[in-house]
Amino acid sequence: MSDRAPSGYADRPLVKPPVWTWEIPVYFFVGGVAGMSLLIAAVAGLARMSDGAPALDPLVRKCVWVACAGAVISPMLLISDLGRPMRFLNMLSRFNVRSPMSMGVWILVGFSGVSGLLLIAVNGTIVDLPVVAPFAGALGPLMTTLLICGGLFGALLATYTGVLLGVSTIPAWHQNRRRLPVHFGLASLGSAASVLLLFGSSDPVLVRLLWIAIAGEAGIALLSIDRSAVARENAAVPQWTRLPPILMTVASAVPLVLGLPVLAAISFPMGSLLSRFAWIKVGRLSAMTSGSSQRD
Amino acid sequence: MKTRSRDAQRPDCARSVCPYCAVGCGQLVYHRDGKVTSIEGDPESPINAGTLCPKGSASKELVTHEGRLIWAKVRRPGASEWERIPLEQAMDEIAERTWASRNRNWVDRDADTGERIGHTTAVAHLGGATLDNEENYLIKKLFTAGLGMVAVSNQARI
Amino acid sequence: MAEAHPVGFRWVMKAKERGTKVIHVDPRFSRTSAQADLWMPIRAGGDLAFLGGLISIVLKEKAYFAEYVEAYTNAGALVHEDYQGPDDLGGLFSGWNAESYDTSTWQLERDADGVLVRDPTMEHARCVLQVLKRHFARYTPSMVEEIAGVPEQRLRAVADHLIAASGPVKTAAICYAVGWTQHSKGVQIIRAAAILQLLLGNVGRPGGGLMALRGHASIQGSTDIPTLYDILPGYLKMPRGGVGETTLDGWCATHQPRTGWWANSRRYMVSLLKAYYGEKATHANDYGFGLLPRVTKDHSHFHYWLEMADGGIEGLFLMGQNPSVGAQNGRLERKALAQLDWLVVRDLVEIESATFWKDGPEIERGELVTEDVKTEVYLLPAAAHVEKAGTFTQTQRMLQWREQAVEPRADQRSEAWFVHQLALRLQAMARAESDSSNATADRDAALLSLDWWYPEVEHGAIKGEPQTEAVLAEINGWRTVDRQAGRAAETQPGAVCALDRENHVHHGPQVAGFSELNDDGSTACGCWIYSGVYGPDGVNRAYRREPVGRYGHGWGYAWPMDRRILYNRASARPDGKPWSKGKALVWWDDSLGQWTGHDVPDFPVDKRPDTAADLNGEGVAAHPGDAPFLMQDDGLGQLFVPEGLVDGPLPTHYEPLESPLANALYAQQSDPAAGRFDRPDNLFADLGDRRFPYVLTTYRLTEHHTAGGMSRTLSRLSELQPELFVEISFELAGELQIEDGDWVTVVNLRSAVEARALVTRRMMPLRMGSQDGKPRVVHQVAMPFHWGSSGPNRGDVVNDLIPLSSEPNVSIHESKALLCDVVPGRRPGDRELLQWLEQRYPELEIARTGGVANVGHGARSASDDASEELV
Amino acid sequence: MKNERGQRHNYVERGVTVGFLTDPTLCIGCKACEVACKEWNDVPSDGGARAAIGSRSYDHSGDLGASTWRHVKFVETETEEGLPRWLFLSDVCKHCERAGCLEACPTGAIWRTEVGSVLVDDDRCNGCGYCVVSCPFGVIDRRGRPTAEIIGSIAGTAPSSGSSEAVAGEGGAFKCTLCYDRQVEGKIPACANACPTDSIMFGPLVDLKEYAQVRVETLHQRGVTDAVLYDGQEGNVNGIHAMSVLVGGSVGDAAGDAADLWGQPSNPTAPYAYLAASWSSALLTVVLSAVACWLAFVL
């Protein structure tokens, strides 16, 4: 036998790369921000309860506005990425627990519904309507349940996208199936806080939330430096995919320490958005190098 | 769930033979409304028992692809493009040219021995291995037995 | 076979599953080799030496099937005393007179009554078997290794398998294709295989024989009913000028032997003439024999194409062939088309041969300028196989009728329609001219006598289509009707398509077979070997679809007389009993007093096996009851061929016309009778020309079809093989420093072709003897030839690399064994290609300019000794 | 066991689970299966991710995908004596017993037919692409934009004829349908029907499984000692309906390196294996972030 290896298929990709384009990473970011802002609204509303009704202070109002904006933009992004956009309603024809895509769609529907109601509720016009008057008493608990549901849907919307990638055959994704939801959740929390800061809300809570997110991201970054997916060692990984962790930790912490929260509120969400693109890119590379001869 | 089954309403099915190599695989040519819908092996043929090779399997595309010539064309001497020509006019022109070239180069007798030759070598023919026996018979009958053309050849050269 | 006849290979695979050994001999390890038990790499051009080696082993070890050989072949016949073979005359046979052979010294001894003298013991010094033994004595295993590159123990393995699979109880089959025929000694290679099969007793027996795997759907049909220059339907020879064949009797003198089946030639020729000229063929005018044109030289494809290249041809009909890509020396072929006054191309697609004036390589290279090409080109769409009814004849001689599925569109027509419409017009012109003046009576006698009676049918929007069944009926043959004696009221029973275009009764009942044909004008038959396909019972046997039994009788119609295995009398012992129970095919049944079996007996049905030869009998009657080979004059298998081959009675190894090796066996380098068409645009590399160190061979891929017109235009086949490539061994790729997938240019004295390198272990350098002390290694490269300059999937034309040449007997070209050089990188662009070629090989420029070499052309090749030329 | 081409079967009515068994020791690499499949199903030309010449012997189809539902693979290797050995295998969608694509599909377009095959309903599929990243064998793909561009941009081979004009069925996910429409007619799939040497065997899965064991055993007796059965029992797809014998791997190995040689996963894992871990992590994050927010507010 000569030393010549047989021409086989060991170096050919075992699995197909994702077909998604830019709309999906943007949706991950927008959905995440919208989701987490509703969580912030919920906690804010409940934490500052007064006489049985959640406080609808400016922060909560802003959060609901951000959530609603996300609830409008997200479906458009998802639908535009579909191979056949006109058939998006087919997604609502069944509820498939085993499919993160199907669950995600229903989470988004739930989230949009609740944030819509909250938008109306928060603007107070509903309260003066004569027809609503007799139920005035029930408004407080209604608002509470709405906020709780909103917060829940919001947090799920921000984290299910991690599951969407984690539950796949792409090696770089499924090997990080536990880390991705946490990472997307924290990134969304921090981004939501940053967005609210940028919208002029000076509530000190936001800075604390940003700190929490930065700390979380730093933890994840430390965890993944040691081993992480095949993507890291793979030479073909472009350099910019290493940027997001830095933006979301160091580049955000320093401005905060220097008392320039606005700077941090720009750096963190940028890192978060870039991170979504990085995970899609790494996913593609991982698929293309999934051949058995390249298995790490 | 719409099944695109071609045989649902039993279109006619012609029994044919593959046009590619000389193994002679039997083919079933399904067609509907004057169009070929699919071609597959004839299961009863003792030669191919319903199977086909890649070329035989591509027979449907062979007879339906848009690259097939549809209209008669002529290229006039020196022209740089084709031009359309009615088929009947093309046949007339071809007949005239054949008649003229053959008569201009008719060899009736051998110059030295006077023996009757009765042929022309100025009009030639090539082809035949992909044609039907009936077509080759008519070609040889007209060209050789009729017009006296001897430069008649095809891919076989036996 | 798996490459070009995949479904044929189905049955080899079925046999292999039941234990049959499959041996594949090929310079390239192909998809056939992948499933073979034994692959035999061979130097292209060494096939005859390889077969000679096997024959030599079979003869030396007396491993031949003695009883079969003694009874059924001319092994015992005695060769003429003055016969001398290649060993005596340096590679030539006795009778060579510089141009051709005088075959008188090849004749076999006959007694006073003309019967062959045969030595039953086959020991006589001059008997064919001993001549054969001496002839192949020097084809020893070591010699075969030196010539063909086949290692000795591998040759031994093949011999052992063949011998073990032969004899009374077993049979071995040999299948071959153009890998053997497309050589300058092609016919002799087939002859060597025939000798091997006769010696092993495999001819005429089930699972034995020699099968040609032919390439086109009806190429067998196109030689049975030939659009060829030298034969008429049924392999009757065309009359030749200057050899005393002015009359039918003259023709019969040379083509109607007293013994053997060909004794019936006269009846077949007269019947054919009655089919051609109908009532105009009478006893008085020698049945119109004089109307047939005379052949005066070789009018086959290459010969008349060279006349065309020199402006000697005005018009050409291309009907279903694409010579610009499919024929050899493509540059010469395409430039010759530009010399025509008019060209008619009938094809499914716009093939390269129709667009040579528009986008052919010569236009790109400036050798032809569109405006200067005066050829008028008619491009007429052809109907596809599903758009017309008719018969194909496949490679086992079986006619199969195709039903028409759909109508052709717009101007698409069948060839039958085209020829019919052309015939009507030409006959009208002839009639018009002959009415006005009878000066042309002699010239147009044939055309006016032509019996163009065909009734027309209308289908879809098409009018004037000749009825295909009527043509098949004419091919089958009928009893003629004397039409002058008043119109017969109605058709007679057994007549088929009996009304002509004017609805008059045209002919009588069909004949049931060629045994009913007469030479008195009472029968007409378009092709005697097909007679029986459309008999008096009105059944179109080519249309039958009920196969019965092991050989599928009842499906289609195998000529002659639906017989599936020819010479099957040889599947029984001389006494008529089968050689063995397992291999019984046809045998004598005493109770019936007839031959019977699983196939139509290839023997007079009621002729007892022990019948003695009738000394003055006619035809087959002259043969004894144990002479299976009816077509041969003596009814015996011809190990030694005294008559009929122009380059020798026995196969002899000669080197290809372009070879890296000197002929190791004889002084004569290549087949003396092979044609080289020595012309400036058809040069051959000389022996030992170190500028062309590699052997080039060409082949077909499963995914494409010959010149590509029916495959490169289809997306589903093109994407399977999208680009032209050349298969190169790892060793050669190492020497040339090229990687798998790189561009390389394959170049020789004809042209240069660029292709992707497919570096593979399936091409192996061959160790062949030694050269100045060192073991000699010969590299081979292999290229598929499907690509051309038109259509969606384009590439260089590999046939541009191959010179015109012609094998002595059938003038087939040699495209399987040539020389080339392989240069890394793509070839120069079309504009600079010719200059680049002439720079590399100055003799090209000398040939083109007629002798003036331009000094300014830079580097000279080492072998150039021309004196310094002024610019 | 033989492909029944003459008679019509009634597997669909009787709900018999059917499948393929592909035997490379009978395959002659002619690709009739690729062409017959495309002709019957009108699959457009796969000008997309074309494997350039020279990278894969005579295999220019590259990979299974949206416009290549049958794909003959070519492996050039050597025998012990150093003679060439050329192996062919016709690859196809596995129609897994537990299919990743089917479970991932949010619209219910991918369903399991009465004969146990996994079928994409082209009228329902909206091209979300999630099945593409859920197939452990890398078979199903979305046709037209952007897969070709993505692969092209990464693999550095720009799609050779990446024609821009719309491809038939663009935007939908496609794969082998096991010729469900032919089966409804009682006919066998187009690829098995065309296969000249019956290397592709179609029939009830139970019979195929039984025949496969016998075939592998016969091959071993005949000296093809490296023949192994690849039936997807490893991994979590619970077996595949398109089995194949694999040759060319090391002798007596479980299907490990033979699978690698032929580019098949030796341990195919459908993504449902990751659901629990990933969702639990997500839910944990929901709770933790809620708590984090609470703390941020309360402190």
Cβ within 8 Å, pair D77-A90: no
On chain B, the residues whose CB falls within 8 A of the CB of D43 are none
What backbone torsions phi and psi does residue C17 show, to the nearest 5 degrees?
-65, -25
Alpha-carbon distance C812 to nearest alpha carbon in chain B (angstroms) = 6
Residue numbers in D near A86 (CB within 8 A): 126
Q: Could you tell me which residue, C133 or A140, shows the higher pLDDT? A: C133
Q: Which pLDDT belongs to residue A130? A: 66
What's the pLDDT score for residue C249?
96
User: Minimal CA–CA distance to A119: which of A174, A65, A193?
Assistant: A65
Q: Determine the pLDDT at residue B1.
A: 29
Instruction: Specify the amino acid at residue C607.
Output: K
Mean pLDDT in residue range A83-89: 93
Structure tokens at A215: 């700390």
Closest listed residue to residue C41, CA positions, set C701, C766, C730, C820: C766
Best mutation target, D40, D177, D180, D200, to test chain B (most B CBs within 10 A): D40
pLDDT over threshold 90, residue D88:
yes
For chain B, say whether D123 makes contact (Cβ under 8 Å). yes
Q: What is the DSSP string of C201-247?
A: T-TTSTT-SEEE--SSTTTTHHHHTT-SSSEETTTEEPPBTTTT-SS
* Residues 758-787 of chain C whose Cβ lies under 8 A from any Cβ of chain D: 758-762, 764
Q: What is the pLDDT of residue D159?
A: 38
Whether D114 has its CB under 8 Å from any CB of chain B: the answer is: no
pLDDT at C728: 96
Q: Where are the domains of chain B?
A: 5-64, 105-157
Give the pLDDT of residue A213.
93
Model pLDDT, residue C859: 36
State how far the alpha carbon of D280 is from the alpha carbons of A101, D40, D288, in Å.
Answer: 16, 46, 12
**Contact between residue B72 and residue B84 where contact means Cβ atoms under 8 Å apart:** yes
Write out the CATH class of domain B5-64.
alpha beta
Residues of B within 8 A of C556 (CB-CB) are 24
Alpha carbon separation from C579 to C74, C168, C593 (Å, rounded): 20, 5, 19
Chain C residues inside the 8 Å CB shell of A2: 761
Tokens at residue C616, please?
């003055």
User: CA of C544, closest CA in chain D: separation in Å?
Assistant: 17
Identify the pLDDT of residue C791. Answer: 83
Q: Which of B3, B39, B49 sits opposite D181 (nearest CB)?
A: B3
User: Which of C716, C759, C766 has the highest number of chain D CBs within 10 A, making it the mutation to test binding with D?
Assistant: C716
Backbone phi and psi for residue C775, each to the nearest 5 degrees, phi listed first: -60, 135
pLDDT, average across residues D236-262? 85
Pair D219, C17: CB distance under 8 Å: no
pLDDT at A201: 79
Percent of chain D with pLDDT over 90: 75
Q: Do D151 and A102 touch (CB under 8 A)?
A: no
Q: What pLDDT does residue D135 have?
A: 97
ipTM for the predicted complex: 0.93
Contact C411 B94 (CB under 8 A): no
Average of per-residue pLDDT values in chain D: 89
Tell whether the model's pLDDT for residue A228 goes beyond 50. no
| pLDDT (0 to 100) of residue D165 | 57
Distance from CA of D258 to the nearest CA of B (A): 27
* C neighbours by CB contacts (3+ pairs under 8 Å): A, B, D
Find tokens 């079928």 and name the residue.
Answer: D119
Mean pLDDT of the residues in chain A = 87
| Separation of alpha carbons B13 and B42, rounded Å | 11
- The pLDDT value given to residue A70: 95
Answer yes or no: is pLDDT of A234 > 60.
Answer: no
Q: What domains are defined for chain A?
A: 17-288 (1.20.1630.10)
Q: Which of B4, B39, B49 is opposite residue D181, by nearest beta carbon? A: B4
Contact D39 B43 (CB under 8 A): no
- For the record, the structure tokens of C380 come out as 């007429």
Q: How far is CA D121 from CA D102, D176, D177, D270, in A?
A: 11, 12, 9, 21
CB-CB contact of C40 with C34 (8 Å): no
Q: Which positions in chain D touch C725 (Cβ < 8 Å)?
A: 53-54
Residues of D in contact with C39 (CB under 8 A): 83-84
**Cα dist. C277→A224, C28, C226, C452 in Å?**
94, 51, 18, 8
Q: Model confidence at A242, in pLDDT bands (50, 70, 90)? A: confident
Q: Which residues of chain C have pLDDT under 50?
A: 853-871
- Chain A residues 171-230 with CB within 8 Å of chain D: 173-174, 177-182, 185-186, 189, 205, 208-209, 212
Q: Which of A91, A167, A176 to mutate to test the interface with D (most CBs of D within 10 A)?
A: A167
Q: Which residue of D has its CA nearest to B25?
A: D196
In the predicted structure, residue D153 carries a pLDDT above the cut 80: no
**Distance from A236 to chain D by nearest Cα, in Å?**
9
Say what the pLDDT of residue A126 is: 57
C-alpha–C-alpha distance, residues B14 and D12, integer Å: 27
pLDDT at position A127, please?
58
Query: Which residue of chain C has the CA closest to A1?
Result: C761
Partners of D242 in beta bridges: D20
Arithmetic mean of pLDDT over chain B: 91
| A114 vs D: CB within 8 A | no
For residue A296, the model assigns a pLDDT of 46
Q: Which of C715, C716, C756 sits opposite D53 (nearest CB)?
A: C756
d(CA C824, CA A256): 63
- Averaged pLDDT, D270-277: 96
d(CA C247, CA C321): 35
pTM reported for the whole predicted model:
0.94
Tell me the per-residue pLDDT of C257-302, one tens digit each, with 9 for 90 and over.
Answer: 999 999 999 999 999 999 999 999 999 999 999 999 999 999 999 9
Give the Cα separation of D19 and B156 in Å (integer): 45
Among candidates C34, C715, C739 on the partner chain, residue whose Cβ is nearest the Cβ of D45? C715
- Cβ pairs bridging A and D (under 8 Å): 275
Cα angle C830, C832, C835; round to 5: 125
Closest partner residue to C398 among B24, B55, B142, by Cβ? Answer: B24
